[in-house]
Amino acid sequence: MMNRDSFNQWLDTCPTDGWRVVSDTYGFIHVAYGIEEDHEWVEESSWSQFKLATLWFLFGGVVSLGVFSMFISFMSWWLM
């Protein structure tokens, strides 16, 4: 287990200075490293499926709200 001083010494030996401390609380230091990512691994079909799923989710929400408002309207009319 490292203490704070040995961790800071180890962090200074890292080959890049592209890190930042996210949080520093009692017993824990969270450090984030920025990296360059290659986005070629994202296939177009998976992105299309994600967009389609999002569209279906939004459509379902709109339909649910419409049905709920129709139900409330009917119940208001029926109880009068």
pLDDT in tens, 7-59: 878 877 877 667 777 888 787 888 887 766 665 555 555 656 667 777 777 77
- pLDDT, residue 3, reads 83
- Cα angle 10-11-14, degrees, rounded to a multiple of 5: 95
Which residues make Cβ contacts (< 8 Å) with residue 35, sequence separation at least 6? 18
Does pLDDT of 64 surpass 80?
Answer: yes
The number of beta carbons lying within 10 Å of the beta carbon of residue 11 is: 13
Q: What is the model's pTM?
A: 0.35
Structure tokens at 60: 């379902």
